[in-house]
Amino acid sequence: MLRWVLVASVLTPSFVMAQAADPGCSGTADDRARLACYDAKYPPRGRVGAAKPAPAADPDVAQIVASGPKCDLRAIFETVHRIAASPKGQFETTAQHRDRLNKALSSSGQPITDVLCLTSYSRQPRYDADRGALEIELSDPFASDPAQELPAVQVTDARGSKAIVRRQRSVSWMVLMGLHSESHHVPFPIDAARSLDGSVRAGIVADIVEPFTQQDAPGPVAADGIDKESVVNVIYMAPKHLVLFDNRNNKLLWSARILRCTATGGALRWRIGTCEKPDP
């Protein structure tokens, strides 16, 4: 009995049977031609589609995923913000300053390239049987700590009345990639999805880019009789790959490139796999 073994495809979602024979497409040099060859040899059946061999997986992406997610937003921000805050010297060109920061970041022990983050910490990929696909919730990674109580203060209003005001402070960390909060569907065999139920995770491989970090701490806002202060720590990243992996062994199941494309009206936006057609 054949069993499903999933491998990554850099360009499109594709799946492979372990014992399936090579249809003679691997010798095709051009990626698009090779994919077209596979599609011709293994035409889709219904919504789920037929099992078919996939082009060779990107070994670099598989190796990144094999190490597991390394996206502790608190630790990343603390390290990168401290280094990136180093000011440009008066006898230092912009290029020299950028080079110095990149060297300091590289030697800090905090990777700034190929960082794997989960796409959503609140929702795992779910299977959509009608589409025959896994649904991934795309969103910029985010983390926050519970609000902390600060020492209360006594205030005096214009009429001289005094009151005790409670204060709270909340801190959050977010990655700014510019991803639209939307769902992306990856065609996936239902039997394979059933066997992986609960262990599939979606992630984004990204690079930390300039301006690296930003800290926003607006003044307190009165709400519910409490002065609430919020601190937002931002990490700038550029996404490169969307991936699905098995969190039991960090095995790559599927991957697709994230491309910067021109949308309607000339605006730029990230798209999955290709700029030529809408996301599935």
* pLDDT for residue 21: 36
The pLDDT of residue 103 is above 50: yes
* pLDDT for residue 234: 92
Q: What distance in Å separates the CA atoms of residue 159 and residue 27, rounded to the nearest whole number?
A: 85
How buried is residue 1: exposed, middle or buried, by Cβ count under 10 Å (0-12/13-18/19+)?
Answer: exposed
* pLDDT for residue 116: 92
The pLDDT of residue 259 is above 70: yes
Count of C-beta atoms within a 10 Å radius of residue 200:
24
Question: 3-class DSSP state for residue 41?
Answer: helix
pLDDT per position as a tens digit, 14-40: 333 222 334 455 455 554 565 555 455
- Whether 178 contacts 270, CB under 8 Å: yes
* pLDDT for residue 250: 92
Full DSSP string of 79-113: HHHHHHTSPPPTT--HHHHHHHHHHHHHTTT---S
Question: 3-class DSSP state for residue 260?
Answer: strand
Full DSSP string of 167-228: EEEEEEEEEE----SEEEEEE--HHHHHHTTTTEEEEEEEEEEEEEEEEE-PPPEEETTEEE
Q: Could you report how far apart the first and last alpha carbons of the chain are, in Å? A: 31
Q: What distance in Å separates the CA atoms of residue 50 and residue 270, rounded to the nearest whole number?
A: 29
Q: What distance in Å separates the CA atoms of residue 258 and residue 93, rounded to the nearest whole number?
A: 33
pLDDT per position as a tens digit, 191-238: 888 888 888 999 999 988 888 888 887 777 777 778 888 889 999 998
The pLDDT of residue 83 is above 70: yes
Which structure tokens are listed for 170?
Answer: 């909340």
- Tell me the average pLDDT across 115-139: 84
Q: Which residue's entry shows tokens 């094999």?
A: 66
Buried/exposed 22-40: b ≥16 CB within 10 Å, e otherwise: eeebeeeeeeeebbebbbe
Share of the chain above pLDDT 90, in %: 8
Select the more confidently predicted residue: 30 or 6.
Answer: 30
Backbone φ and ψ for 163, nearest 5 degrees, come out as -150, 155
pLDDT per position as a tens digit, 141-199: 888 888 888 888 777 777 777 777 788 888 998 888 877 677 888 888 888 888 888 88
Count of C-beta atoms within a 10 Å radius of residue 209:
14
The pLDDT of residue 9 is above 50: no
The pLDDT of residue 118 is above 60: yes
* pLDDT for residue 265: 56
Domain coordinates in residue numbering, the chain: 58-272
Mean pLDDT, the chain, rounded, equals 74
How buried is residue 76: exposed, middle or buried, by Cβ count under 10 Å (0-12/13-18/19+)?
Answer: buried
46-50, 81-85, 222-226, range with greatest mean pLDDT: 81-85
pLDDT per position as a tens digit, 237-249: 988 999 999 999 9
Question: 3-class DSSP state for residue 129?
Answer: coil
Buried/exposed 242-264: b ≥16 CB within 10 Å, e otherwise: bbbbebeebbbbbbbbbeeeeee
Q: What distance in Å separates the CA atoms of residue 67 and residue 97, rounded to the nearest whole number?
A: 31
- Tell me the average pLDDT across 107-128: 82
Question: 3-class DSSP state for residue 34?
Answer: helix
Which structure tokens are listed for 107?
Answer: 């030697």
